[in-house]
Structure 1
Amino acid sequence: MSSVFTHKVQIYYEDTDHSGVVYHANYLKYFERAREHIIDGAVLAAVWRDRGVGFVVYKASLTYADGVQFGEVCEVRTTVRQDGNFRTIWEHEFWRPAGAKAAVTAQVELVCVDQAKDIVPTPQEFLACIG
């Protein structure tokens, strides 16, 4: 099993719907930010600049179990594994403070593409970050 990476998320008013609960699509943004903290943004930018390779989402599946609310400081817990040469699978859990279970769980599959949008093997620079 891979390491568990954690990332704190402050819930702002702008993140919520009219009832003060986080709008469902925002969890994808939180998970993206967590991934960027795992694979340093400078590494992402350098690989794109130098080799023209970057991540794209191939598939995403989310399950919503509890509504996170304005003002909470939550935690994204992430594990990641390589599936062959081309795909990484990211398991995300979104935890509320003192939560007994994850409020939201997600599985996001990423592949790498070049500037022509052709799928390419995951670069070693990325694999070193998730090692």
Structure 2
Amino acid sequence: MSAPHLLPVRVYYEDTDFSGLVYHASYLRFLERGRTELLRAAGVDQSVLHAGGEGLFFAVRRMTIDWLVPARMDDVLAVETRTAEVRGASIVIAQRILRDAQVLLTADVRVAALAGGRPARLPDALRAILEGRG
């Protein structure tokens, strides 16, 4: 399991619904940014992976989300992201969205590694990074 990465996110008007609460689908964007920034902080450039010889990219396979407490316009949130499990061609990523110390949302995301539209084994170097060994 990797060390958690924290990404600060401010809630803007565009992220909310008519009530001033964050619209449920906006959380998906926050979570996606958290996963991207976890990789970036570990030195993994997804565009380089995709442009490389294998054309490797990631696609969400399954996502389980628990919305616990709503966020509101102008809140400053933290998206906490860490790898929970690394398998041959997939990664399970554990994520939380927090406001200060309060957990607003938890998510477990299984991401599949693909190349040419088919499952692809994660390269050893990438596996080591994701497992916190690289």
Q: TM-score, normalised by structure 1?
A: 0.89
- Structure 1 unmatched ranges of 5 or more: none
Which of 25, 46, 49 is the aligned partner of 2:48? 46
* Cα shift readout 1:111-131 (whole Å, capped 9, x = no counterpart): 11112x100112345334432
How many equivalent pairs are there?
128
Equivalent position amino acid for 1:114 in 2: A
Equivalent position amino acid for 1:44 in 2: Q
Listed as ranges, the matches of 1:1-131 within 5 Å are: 1-40=1-40, 43-50=45-52, 51-99=54-102, 102-115=103-116, 117-130=117-130, 131=132
Q: Equivalent residue of 1:21, what SS?
A: coil
* Cα shift readout 1:65-123 (whole Å, capped 9, x = no counterpart): 10100001100111213342111111101001342xx10110000011112x1001123
> Any conservation in 2 of the 1:7–1:34 contact (CA below 8 Å)?
yes
Q: TM-score, normalised by structure 2?
A: 0.87
RMSD after superposition: 1.7
Distance 1:125 1:18, change over 3 A: farther
Distance 1:123 1:26, change over 3 A: farther
Distance 1:122 1:81, change over 3 A: farther
Distance 1:126 1:15, change over 3 A: farther
